[in-house]
Amino acid sequence: MRDDDPRLPTSPGFWRSPLRGTWFTSVLGLVLLAGVTVLFLTGLVSYAAYNPDLAPVNDQTPDKGLLGFYLFSWPTDPYWLYRLTQGLHVTLGITLIPVLLAKLWSVVPKLFALPPARSLAHALERLSLLLLVGGGLFEFVTGVLNVQLDYLFPGSFYPLHFYGAWVFFAAFLAHAALKTPTALRAVRGRHTEERPPVPAPPGAGQSAAVPADEGGLASPLPDPPTVDRRGALWFVGGGSLLLLVTTAGQSIGGAWRRTALLAPHGWADPGGGPNGFQINKTAGYAGIDPGQTAEGAWRLVVTGRGGRTVRLSRAELLRLPQHSAALPIACVEGWSTADQWWRGVRLRDLAALVGHDGDPPDVLVESLQLHGAFRRGALRANQVADPRSLLALRVNGEDLSPDHGYPARVIVPAAPGVLNTKWVARLTFGEL
Ligand SMILES: Nc1nc2c(c(=O)[nH]1)N[C@H]1C(S)=C(S)[C@@H](COP(=O)(O)O)O[C@H]1N2
Ligand SMILES: [Mo]
């Protein structure tokens, strides 16, 4: 049979690495079982955090009614909540890349196995593996691209990554239900009866060092090993550790940011001084013309109950009661700033100006920006009501810089950065 020609990848004899086997695949699989579960949960949370169900300006994902059954109103406490959940999501996702690749490598002979389907059940199993592998790669690739290439899929990243997550996780759960018992047995067995798979001494050829191979993953014709399975795991773990220490600093912010060698460093060097923290999109990139933001030209338009509207200059805003809040900016990309001191007018005080005293409603925030998915956003009533939610005019004792949103920007505790709209031009309360 041609299937058995060891020159073809469809033959088990083609795959010669002595590392492949149930134990190696099981250890990696169990790490992914824990890790991917955390990724899925923090991902769902991240989706809920940006208020996709509040208004189409935040998200137009069709059918999120079904998959978004769990959506809830995102709290404002603790104020570092999104910084934690999203830092965890992105850092863990990046750290797991070597584990994912090693896991796929360890089972790649199965991808080529013939016949493609021995029975209907086998065909269904392989189809589910296609969704598992395809879905997993899709989630990791879109996640990394979104972080590294700064919104490669403007506006569409959320639905892509969200739908992909459900497909991937459904296949992942089915796979875990089938394989976890075997994996646990393989890993436990190693501690009780079996010695670690001792590398065969050079020249010993196919020695008895190949352990019992329940999953049919071990090569029938293994090459002599150059590293044992433990060594290979250390190699994978070392890769993960390297990614971890060169990524995690971006979520801590401040001086730690310099350790985040792999994190994108943004479009502009923020420089030093009170405004010297990470900039996402610059005013220039967003097409904000300095003429529009000048003292004589800019007015904030606030609309509320029954269409009541006030127009306020920056000087008038500065004459309203000013409040401070120490809050970070935490982006969906996983980076955060340390806490910054913001100062400005409470959103709920602005709601009160247009007839919503006491119990402020949701608000639509629109910026001067004409294009781009994040030029506007909707905040929920609980976010408007929080006394730390500000239309900030100053940061760390100085006026906002143009790149951080001058003349005015929104800052809300625990909210994703994307809802901290810069260059605000209009607030519309209660008409979402
Ligand atoms: N008008 C406007 N506001 C915006 C954005 C934007 O593109 N346009 N980007 C948002 C995103 S995604 C983030 S993470 C924060 C970043 O704020 P910073 O640049 O001051 O750090 O601003 C938010 N506000
Ligand atoms: Mo962001």
Closest ligand 1 atom to the C-alpha of 375?
1
> By alpha-carbon position, which residue is closest to atom 16 of ligand 1?
280
| Judgement on whether residues 247 and 336 belong to the same structural domain of the protein | no
Instruction: Write the CB contacts of 72 (distance below 8 Å, at least 6 apart in sequence).
Output: 48
Q: Decide if 116 is inside a domain.
A: yes
Are the beta carbons of 415 and 377 closer than 8 angstroms?
no
d(CA 108, ligand 1 centre) in Å? 42
Are the beta carbons of 240 and 95 closer than 8 angstroms?
yes
Q: Decide if 5 is inside a domain.
A: no
d(CA 393, ligand 2 centre) in Å? 20
Q: Which ligand is nearest to the CA of 410?
A: 1
Residue 318 belongs to domain spanning? 300-429
When pLDDT is averaged across residues 266-284 and rounded to a whole number, the result is 85
Q: Does residue 38 surpass a pLDDT of 60?
A: yes
d(CA 246, ligand 2 centre) in Å? 20
> In angstroms, rounded to a whole number, what is the distance separating the alpha carbons of residues 416 and 401?
20
Q: Decide if 208 is inside a domain.
A: yes
Instruction: Write the CB contacts of 120 (distance below 8 Å, at least 6 apart in sequence).
Output: none
Instruction: Write the CB contacts of 25 (distance below 8 Å, at least 6 apart in sequence).
Output: 103, 106, 107, 183, 215, 217
What's the pLDDT band for 349 if we cut at 50, 70, 90?
very high
CB-CB neighbours of 289 under 10 Å: 11
pLDDT in tens, 286-319: 999 999 999 999 999 999 999 999 999 999 999 9
| Judgement on whether residues 24 and 159 belong to the same structural domain of the protein | yes
> In angstroms, rounded to a whole number, what is the distance separating the alpha carbons of residues 379 and 358?
17
Please tell me which of 7-21, 265-279, 340-354 the model is most confident about, judged by mean pLDDT: 340-354
| Judgement on whether residues 245 and 313 belong to the same structural domain of the protein | no
Could you tell me what percent of the chain has a pLDDT over 70? Answer: 91
Q: Structurally, how many domains does the chain consist of? A: 2
When pLDDT is averaged across residues 63-79 and rounded to a whole number, the result is 91
Task: Say which CATH number the domain at 384 has.
Answer: 3.90.420.10
What pLDDT was estimated at residue 116? 87
Please tell me which of 59-68, 217-226, 315-324 the model is most confident about, judged by mean pLDDT: 315-324
| Judgement on whether residues 244 and 362 belong to the same structural domain of the protein | no
Are the beta carbons of 57 and 376 closer than 8 angstroms?
yes
pTM score = 0.91
Amino acid, res. 420: N
Q: Is the CB of 329 under 6 A from ligand 1?
A: yes
Q: What Cα–Cα distance (Å) separates residue 28 from each residue in 102, 181, 209, 230, 237?
A: 8, 14, 20, 12, 10
pLDDT in tens, 192-233: 443 444 555 555 444 444 445 667 789 998 999 999 999 999
- Mean predicted lDDT score pLDDT of the chain: 90
Instruction: Write the CB contacts of 304 (distance below 8 Å, at least 6 apart in sequence).
Output: 351, 353, 354, 355, 356, 428, 429, 430
Q: Decide if 132 is inside a domain.
A: yes
The two tokens of residue 221 are 């014709």
| Judgement on whether residues 308 and 248 belong to the same structural domain of the protein | no
| Judgement on whether residues 222 and 137 belong to the same structural domain of the protein | yes
pLDDT in tens, 133-148: 999 999 999 999 988 8
> By alpha-carbon position, which residue is closest to atom 24 of ligand 1?
421
Q: Is the CB of 419 under 6 A from ligand 1?
A: no
The two tokens of residue 235 are 């190699």
Q: Is the CB of 278 under 6 A from ligand 1?
A: yes
